[in-house]
Structure formats: C-alpha cells, structure tokens
C-alpha cells in the first residue's frame, strides 16, 4: 500500500478560507488505492481525530459509522459506484473518539473514472444532529398528540381548523378531512355565547386559558361538556400565527359529580335524621338510666332507713325488754340462791341465756345502724365489725387505721361500712379465708379502705349470673364517687380496695 498523500489545500485563498471555516466536512478521496486526498478542518470537530489520522488510515471514516447504519451506507455506495444512482446521498450516525453520537447528511459526486470505474470522488458531510433531535422530538410530540384521548387541534388567526387529531375525531365525531379548513364555530352550540372572540383577545394579550369549562356541539347534534385549554402559537420571530386548543370531554365526570353531589346531599340528610334519632334515643336512655339510678338510690336509702328503724326498735324495745327480764332473772337467781332453793341453778341458766340474747340483740342493732359519730364514727364501726366477724365466723380478723379520719357525711361512712361488711362476708363464704385484715388509710387528699384475706382468690362471676353482692358494692362505690378494685394477692388471697378522693367532694345520695 503506497504511503498516504500529503494534505492538499485548495490553492485559491478565498476558496481555502471558505472551506476551512464552514462547519461541513469537505472531502476528496481516491478509491484505488483508498486514500483521502483532502479533508476540511471540520472533520476534527466531528470525529475528534486530527485529519492526519484519516490520511494515515482511510478506513477511520467508515469504521466510525454506527454499526446499525453501516449496511445502509455500504448499500448506497454500491448503487452509486455501479451506476444505479447518479449521486451518493446518505444519512447516518457516527461514533466519535469519545463515543458520542453525531448525525451526518453525506453527499458525493464522481470526479474521474479509470478503466470505466470511479477513481476519484468528492463530497460534503453536514452535521444534522440538532436537526435529527428536533425531528425526533417533533415525531414524539406528534405521536403523543395523535394517541391522546383529548381533542387537540390548531387554528389560524381566523379561527379556521388547521390540524385535527384522532382524539378530536372521537370527541366531536368529525373526521380530519371534514374538520380541517372549517371554522371552529362549527363546534359551538347555537345557544352558546361567542366565546371564541373572547379567547382570541386574551391570547393576543399573551394570556393562556386553562381548563375553561364550557359546552360544545358534536356532529350528531348532541351537546357535551368540555374542559378547554388554549395556548398561542408563534413563529420563530415571536409573531402570533394561531392557537392550539385541547378539549377534554368531561360530560361523564360532571354527570358523576352531580350524581355524587345528590347522593352526598341525600346521605347528609339521612345522617342528620339518624343523628337526631340517635340523639333522642340517647336522651331517652339517659333519662331511663337516671330514673333507674334514682330508684336504686331510693331503694338503698329506704333499705338503710328500714334497717336503722329495725335496729332502733331492737335496741329501744326488744333490747330493753330482754334487759329487764335479764335483770329480774338475776334478782330471782340471787333470791333463790340465798334460800338454797334447788331451782336456783335453773334461774342462773335462764339469766345467762337472757344475757346472751341481750348481747346478741345489741350486736344486731349495731349491725343495722353501725356508724354513730358520737361513738367513734367509721373507725369504731369497722373495729367492731372486725371483732364481730372474729366472734361470729371463728377466724382471725383485725382492724388497723393510719391517719385521722373525719367524715361528716353519714351517707359516705355508711356506704364504706357496708362495702367492708359485704367484703368480709364474701371472703369467708366464697374465699374460705381464715385471716382477714381491715385497714383504713387516710391522707389529706384521699381515704382508702382495704380488706385483705388469705382465701382461695376471687373469680369473676359469669355475665349470665352476676353476683348481687359485688354489684351492690360497686354501686355503693359509684354513689360516693369512689374507685373500687378487686385484686389478687401473692401467694394467694384477695385484696379489695376502695379509694375515695377527699378534695372538693361531689354531693352524694
């Protein structure tokens, strides 16, 4: 292979100035043996190789052609060299030294022949990368416009339709052939205002129109609701040349919105009616609950008053009679004893039985009317309850207190006593406890009643058979605004806790 020829620059200074400063690549090449005889400096800006590299390696140009485009270029050259086409034309991509892609529009002519075949050729390659990018962008935009479900059209300044996409055909029913060249007023309902004039004026002022809701006429005569957006079209100098319009059919949406609005209104009305009915039912239920609570309070009050009356009767009537009989029997026993009467022993037994009956009557009277302020109040009553439980049930039962207890409300003291009384009874009957401690802890802010036992523990009754004693204890605690808790003790047993706040107490029934 002969050495590459040196670069030949055009001899005419003006021509040389021209070809060395244009952006196109001017090239001259001989085919046998292959060699570039001239390449303009623009080659270096596209291939990013010095022209000397192409002189040294004539295949550098062809090797830079994109692999996907190379077969088409080779085919075009073949048609040219064999005389099937008068000149060479091809558009293809090259990959430059940095791997960047550039588009070229390459044209060539045959300068001379040898043995009837092309020997010297020349041409010009132009960088069309930006043009191809613009073309690709326009193609993509055209594809988007054509595939859009929205009706997209362009108008000239006279309101004549210039373009019409498939979405416009589907929306308005007119084909592109029917619509293009027609005035856009074709789509305006007869009764609608001439809003196109208003649109044109706003566009001329440089204003865009976004999502303007109006109505339009279809080819079949039906009226549809649309959302309209309009933008100005300007040429490269900024001169207004027309308008683009995007119309979206919102008939179904508006119909759905109206349906939804009506359903919401109906639902709101029903909710208000239901809320009013529930409010009335709630008020009625609250009234019933309050009535029931009032009745329960009255039943407890009547029960308490009746117990006090019975206790008072036991103490003042039956107790006094038994006391009188006991005193008379004692006098009789002493008289018979002085006479050495054999009936003295019988009289002594009668006196002892009467004394026991008197003590029992007094104990019953205290249980029915337990809390007497003049006799020590709640502390004394709970201490007597522990002593009575120890005697009655034969168990270990003790009372302790901490802090000073001074309750002026007899209802509170009575309810607390009854809670302790019920807890003591439950611990023995249901828990089989052998040791019970009743404690009363008082601070400036609260009072806490504790009943601890060593029994078998507490098992909540089933909902179908709620314990009446537990319900009454909870109800009594609720009446005095106290918190009642029943907790397990370790390793076994139960603790009942009743906590009562002492600051700003609420009125109690």
| 342/324: higher pLDDT | 342
Instruction: Say whether pLDDT at 373 is over 50.
Output: no
pLDDT digits (tens, 9 = 90+) for 52-89: 999 999 999 999 999 999 999 999 999 998 888 888 99
Q: Please report the beta strands in 353-425, taking only residues with DSSP state E, as ranges in sequence order.
A: 396-402
Looking at the chain, the whole-number percentage of residues with pLDDT higher than 70 is 81
pLDDT at residue 461, rounded to an integer: 65
Write out the H or E segment, with its range, that includes residue 471.
Answer: helix 468-479
Which of 391-395, 456-460, 464-468 has the largest mean confidence? 391-395
pTM: 0.39
Looking at the chain, the whole-number percentage of residues with pLDDT higher than 90 is 31
pLDDT at residue 419, rounded to an integer: 92
User: Are 450 and 495 within 8 A, CB to CB?
Assistant: yes
Instruction: Say whether pLDDT at 398 is over 90.
Output: yes
Average pLDDT over residues 230-251: 85
- How is residue 371 annotated by DSSP? -
Instruction: Say whether pLDDT at 262 is over 80.
Output: yes
Residue 78: what are its φ and ψ, rounded to 5°?
Answer: -60, -45
Instruction: Say whether pLDDT at 466 is over 70.
Output: no
| Structure confidence at residue 445 as a pLDDT band (50, 70, 90) | confident
| Cα–Cα distance, 228 to 211 (Å, whole number) | 5
Instruction: Say whether pLDDT at 190 is over 90.
Output: no
User: Are 433 and 425 within 8 A, CB to CB?
Assistant: no
| Structure confidence at residue 6 as a pLDDT band (50, 70, 90) | very low
pLDDT at residue 313, rounded to an integer: 64
319-355 in b/e form (b: 16+ CB < 10 A) is beebbeebeebbebbeebeeeeeeebeebbebbeebb
| Structure confidence at residue 29 as a pLDDT band (50, 70, 90) | very high
| Structure confidence at residue 343 as a pLDDT band (50, 70, 90) | confident
Instruction: Say whether pLDDT at 464 is over 90.
Output: no
């Amino acid at each position: 292979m002969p050495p590459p020829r040196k670069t030949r620059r055009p001899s005419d200074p003006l021509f040389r100035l021209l070809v060395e400063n244009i952006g196109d690549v001017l090239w001259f090449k001989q085919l046998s043996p292959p060699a570039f005889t001239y390449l303009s400096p623009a080659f270096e800006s596209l291939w990013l190789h010095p022209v000397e590299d192409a002189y040294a390696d004539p295949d550098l140009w062809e090797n830079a052609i994109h692999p996907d485009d190379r077969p088409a270029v080779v085919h075009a050259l073949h048609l040219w060299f064999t005389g099937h086409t008068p000149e060479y034309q091809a558009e293809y991509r090259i990959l430059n030294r940095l791997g960047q892609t550039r588009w070229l529009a390459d044209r060539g002519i045959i300068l001379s022949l040898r043995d009837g075949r092309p020997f010297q050729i020349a041409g010009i390659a132009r960088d069309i990368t930006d043009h191809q990018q613009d073309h690709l962008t326009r193609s993509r935009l055209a594809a988007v416009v054509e595939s859009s479900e929205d009706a997209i059209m362009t108008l000239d300044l006279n309101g004549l339709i210039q373009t019409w996409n498939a979405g416009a055909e589907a929306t308005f029913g007119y084909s592109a052939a029917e619509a293009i060249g027609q005035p856009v007023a074709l789509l305006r309902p007869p009764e609608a205002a001439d809003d196109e004039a208003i649109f044109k004026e706003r566009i001329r002022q440089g204003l865009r129109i976004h999502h303007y809701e109006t109505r339009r006429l279809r080819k079949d005569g039906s009226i549809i609701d649309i959302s309209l957006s309009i933008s100005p079209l300007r040429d490269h100098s900024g001169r207004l040349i027309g308008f683009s319009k995007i119309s979206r059919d919102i008939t179904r949406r508006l119909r759905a919105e109206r349906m939804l609005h009506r359903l919401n209104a109906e639902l709101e009305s029903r909710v208000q009616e239901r809320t009013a009915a529930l409010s009335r039912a709630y008020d009625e239920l609250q009234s019933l609950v309050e009535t029931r609570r009032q009745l329960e309070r009255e039943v407890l009050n009547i029960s308490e008053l009746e117990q006090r009356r019975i206790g008072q009767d036991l103490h003042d009537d039956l107790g006094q009679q038994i006391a009188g009989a006991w005193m008379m029997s004692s006098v009789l026993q002493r008289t018979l004893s002085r006479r050495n009467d054999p009936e003295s022993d019988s009289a002594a037994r009668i006196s002892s039985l009467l004394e026991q009956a008197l003590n029992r009557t007094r104990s019953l009277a205290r249980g029915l009317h337990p809390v007497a302020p003049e006799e020590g109040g709640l502390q004394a009553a709970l201490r007597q309850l522990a002593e009575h439980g120890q005697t009655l049930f034969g168990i270990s039962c003790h009372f302790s207190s901490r802090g000073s207890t001074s309750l002026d409300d007899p209802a509170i003291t009575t309810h607390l006593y009854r809670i302790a009384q019920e807890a003591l009874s439950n611990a023995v009957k249901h828990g089989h406890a052998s040791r019970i401690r009743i404690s009363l802890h008082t601070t400036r802010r609260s009072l806490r009643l504790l009943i601890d036992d060593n029994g078998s523990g507490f098992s909540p009754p089933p909902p179908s058979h709620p314990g009446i004693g537990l319900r009454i204890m909870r109800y009594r605690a609720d009446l005095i605004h106290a918190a009642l808790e029943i907790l397990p003790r370790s390793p076994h047993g139960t603790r009942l806790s009743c906590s009562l706040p002492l600051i700003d107490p609420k009125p109690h029934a």
